[in-house]
Structure 1
Amino acid sequence: MKKAFLIALLTGVFATAAHAQSSVTLYGLIDAGLSYVSNQSAAGSTAGHSKFAMTDASINPDRFGVRGSEDLGGGLTAIFTLENGFTLSNGALGQHGLMFGRQAFVGLSSTQFGTVTLGRQYDAMVDYLAPLAGAGAAKGGVFFGHPYDNDNLQNTMRINNAVKYASPNYDGWRFGSLYGFSNAAGSFSNNRAYSFGTSYDNGPFRFAAAYLQLNNGGTATNLTGATDSIVNAADQVTGSDSTFSAGQQRTFGAGLDYVLGPATVGFVFTETKLEDAIGINNTSSSPIPLGNASSLRFDNYEVNALYSVTPAFTVTGSYTFTDGSSSLSGASDPKWNQFNLLLDYALSRRTDVYVEGQFQHLSGGGTWFTADINGLSPSATSSQVAVTAGLRTRF
């Protein structure tokens, strides 16, 4: 009788545990290398100089995080993610010193209705379109990004005060949307953001499209809104999570991938339009002030390919033509051409070594623009070359 009672008690305990399953996972990624970069400006000089240096995150930015889930029953799960970005070479916090600057959100996920999350999150350009681009984490990464990461496919920018919805997977089709509140009384649209996107992934064909809009992003008009800004005593933006400081930013794009055995080929088009743009923030040097520009536009045309030579060895390449236009005084329309190549060898499921190279050339742009490979300091001239050897590990 006692044995039967004990068995019944243990069965009830394990049934309760199975119903209320929960998990908390610590995870991270570290990516570091040595780089040669040409034509970088030196202090007190306008000439370009070669540089040999340790670089961080030439493919994926360094991070560690905690994610968790709790099964609430009936197909409903509570979820959260807290993710920190940092610089390996000096231990500094990323994202302008934020503790969980990469992601910080909590939400509910339903197998039937989808997922709703609240917090600091990625927009639809990152969630849906970026995986098809050379700058995506599964392909070339940071240095493959388009000039200034103008379309956010390399996830330079996150959205604060964001409510996000992501649909379930309907036989390969997904969709979602995001709204970032301004959090300002009487100024509902001042530094707000909204974004939506969709993707289809079934068989050898993948397609995605996305849209992002910011109002007064990266400006000093509302520092508690959807994008972060660091402002000095003179009310000048000296750093921002937003790629640009502008009255309005509209970014949209679409792309496709096709798998041919061990090869994947893709094409991505994006366009970013800026109104009342006053600065470019995403540079490895100080922000670029633009005065009172009425408009800027970046059209990016990218072709990319990935080939698995063996299960451990992959080759990734891309070419991007960025057609820019501006109303800046004395500036001709800038046009960037960039070639990228990455050779990656997996030592294990967690660790790989790689060699990659970039070449970028700019024509036009006047005195406002130079060559500027994403993630590196701008060139002093219209051309820039970078070669990097690195090591990446995950946990």
Structure 2
Amino acid sequence: MKSCCLALPLALTCLAAHGQSSVTLYGIIDLGLTYTNSAQTGKVAGRPVGASQFALTDAHATGLSGSRWGLRGTEDLGGGLKAIFVLENGFFANNGTLAQGGAEFGRQSWVGLSSPYGTVTIGRQYDPYIEFLQPLAASGTFAGYMGSHPDDLDNLTNTNRTNNSIKFTTVKYGGFSAGGLYSLGGVAGNATQNQIWSLGAGYSNGPVSIAAGYFNARDPNVSLYGNTPNKGVATVNNIGSFGSATSAESMPVYAGYASAKTTQFAGAALAYTVASTTIGIVVTNTRFENLGSTIGPNPLKYTGNASFTNAELSVRTYVTPALLLGTAFDYTKRNSVNGDGGAKYLQLDFGAIYSLSKRTDLYALTVLQRATGVDSLGQASVASISGFTPSATNSQIGARLGIRHKF
């Protein structure tokens, strides 16, 4: 959308472009009808129970692009140097409420400088691990949030962003670029408490795209999973919930590991395009290390490390310039923690996106998941498609019909 004066109820003055400065309003509205064959409603005798569910939902957790509006600005400072900023609000279009735990600009809020060598930005922002890997994953191309790996355990679809961060990203040199981020914990007398750091790199040339990334969060129950207005207390599980007789569990794949002293993600991805078809491979490893710290509750008395290895194979093709079809197979395996034998998750993703114009498209998504073993809540594993209420059984089907408009 072109720069213009904006009359917003909360604005003190209009925003305008003057000379070499510009401010742009942009956004996405994504709404759809979702269905799952099994959604938990509570527990009976300690075991989840549930039923099928239809709902009209925002794409925040189940569609292609969470609804948002934002302001993007730039000012030419001369000599190739520019001042830049982004303020981006996430909201639920189905009911008008704020997403990201009620944060006004919960998706992004940063300011920085760009130069012919790269950009430096500070604030709440995406980390390089996500920025380089996500565009090559099924969830970042055709499968949406519900096509994330179980409960988005490796954070490839931005379930959790990074506060208080400083980031540098290079420009592209011969198809190669890289970035690094450091988030200050801000704790007096302890420089490493709540700190986060991340690295990422990518290369794209012709039909080949390659990416790799790493992310490390100290005291993650607070620094990573608790960095929104409705969370942040170390004595509370900010990752998820064990559920109750009248409420569903949340993030059962890894919610039991809130006492980890460190969480880290590492991944690599490869995509190869032939004509209108792209084949992609993504491999990630997620680790919750030093379980049993005081940073989060540990009712199951876990110790040691929980490690998830995930492998995804995807294929997507443009049948016509307006119609994109895609499918992906995902395999996740966790090691044994405290002798529980571990867990496995198998997932199939299917997606179809039809573009009515450059700004508006219709889409259909389907995800099937099956779980085995024992999950982080110490129970027989239940299926848990990202963004959906976890299943009451070890299998789950999630489907969505949606419409997305960009402005």
Question: If the length of structure 2 is used for normalisation, what is the TM-score?
Answer: 0.84
Q: 1:170 to 1:361 in 2, by over 3 A?
A: same
Indicate the residue corresponding to 1:172 in structure 2: 175
Indicate the residue corresponding to 2:237 in structure 1: 237
Deviation at 1:63, TM superposition (A): 1.0
The reply to whether residue 123 of structure 1 matches residue 122 of structure 2 is no
CA distance in 2: counterparts of 1:168 and 1:389, whole angstroms: 38
Worse-superposed segment, 204-213 or 141-150: 141-150
Task: Give the total of aligned pairs.
Answer: 365
The reply to whether residue 357 of structure 1 matches residue 366 of structure 2 is yes
Q: 1:338 aligns with which of 347, 352, 368?
A: 347
Q: 1:106 to 1:302 in 2, by over 3 A?
A: same
Give 1:1-395 correspondences, 5 Å limit: 21-43=20-42, 45=44, 46-57=48-59, 58-111=63-116, 113-136=117-140, 138-219=141-222, 227-228=227-228, 230=230, 235-238=235-238, 245=258, 246-277=260-291, 291-328=301-338, 331-365=340-374, 367=379, 369-395=381-407
Q: 1:289 to 1:316 in 2, by over 3 A?
A: farther
Contact 1:196/1:212, CA 8 A, preserved across alignment: yes
Q: 1:293 to 1:91 in 2, by over 3 A?
A: farther
Contact 2:102/2:228, CA 8 A, preserved across alignment: no
Contact 2:372/2:381, CA 8 A, preserved across alignment: no
Find the structure with the greater CA-based Rg: 1
Deviation at 1:55, TM superposition (A): 2.2
Deviation at 1:233, TM superposition (A): 8.5
**What do the CA deviations read for 1:211-260 (whole angstroms, capped 9, x no partner)?**
000110123xx79x9944745989323568x9863210121010110110
Letter in 1 for 2:157: Q
Deviation at 1:110, TM superposition (A): 0.2
Deviation at 1:292, TM superposition (A): 3.4
Indicate the residue corresponding to 1:7 in structure 2: none
Letter in 2 for 1:375: G
Letter in 2 for 1:264: T
Q: 1:328 to 1:248 in 2, by over 3 A?
A: same
The unaligned stretches of length 5 or more in structure 1 are 1-17, 280-286
Deviation at 1:276, TM superposition (A): 3.4
Contact 2:373/2:380, CA 8 A, preserved across alignment: no
CA distance in 2: counterparts of 1:193 and 1:44, whole angstroms: 36
Give SS of 2:320's match.
Answer: coil
CA distance in 2: counterparts of 1:310 and 1:178, whole angstroms: 39
**What do the CA deviations read for 1:267-312 (whole angstroms, capped 9, x no partner)?**
0100011113479xxxxxxx99754343211111000111000011
CA distance in 1: counterparts of 2:300 and 2:204, whole angstroms: 40
CA distance in 2: counterparts of 1:197 and 1:110, whole angstroms: 19
Indicate the residue corresponding to 1:4 in structure 2: none
Contact 1:20/1:73, CA 8 A, preserved across alignment: no
Deviation at 1:31, TM superposition (A): 1.1
Q: 1:234 to 1:186 in 2, by over 3 A?
A: closer
Contact 1:161/1:181, CA 8 A, preserved across alignment: yes
Indicate the residue corresponding to 2:9 in structure 1: none
**What do the CA deviations read for 1:14-70 (whole angstroms, capped 9, x no partner)?**
xxxx99511111111111111110121124553231111112211111111101001
Q: 1:226 to 1:97 in 2, by over 3 A?
A: closer
Worse-superposed segment, 148-157 or 204-213: 148-157
Contact 2:182/2:197, CA 8 A, preserved across alignment: yes
Q: 1:62 to 1:19 in 2, by over 3 A?
A: closer
Which structure has more RCO (C-alpha within 8 Å, separation ≥ 6)? 2
Give SS of 2:83's match.
Answer: strand
Give SS of 2:32's match.
Answer: strand
Q: 1:352 to 1:70 in 2, by over 3 A?
A: same
Contact 1:231/1:239, CA 8 A, preserved across alignment: no
Letter in 1 for 2:89: N
Give SS of 1:184's match.
Answer: coil
Contact 1:64/1:85, CA 8 A, preserved across alignment: yes
CA distance in 2: counterparts of 1:151 and 1:189, whole angstroms: 22
Contact 1:218/1:228, CA 8 A, preserved across alignment: no
Letter in 2 for 1:388: R
Q: 1:239 to 1:149 in 2, by over 3 A?
A: closer
CA distance in 1: counterparts of 2:136 and 2:298, whole angstroms: 29
CA distance in 2: counterparts of 1:377 and 1:289, whole angstroms: 22
Percent identity over the alignment is: 40
Question: If the length of structure 1 is used for normalisation, what is the TM-score?
Answer: 0.86
Q: 1:340 to 1:90 in 2, by over 3 A?
A: same
Deviation at 1:317, TM superposition (A): 1.1
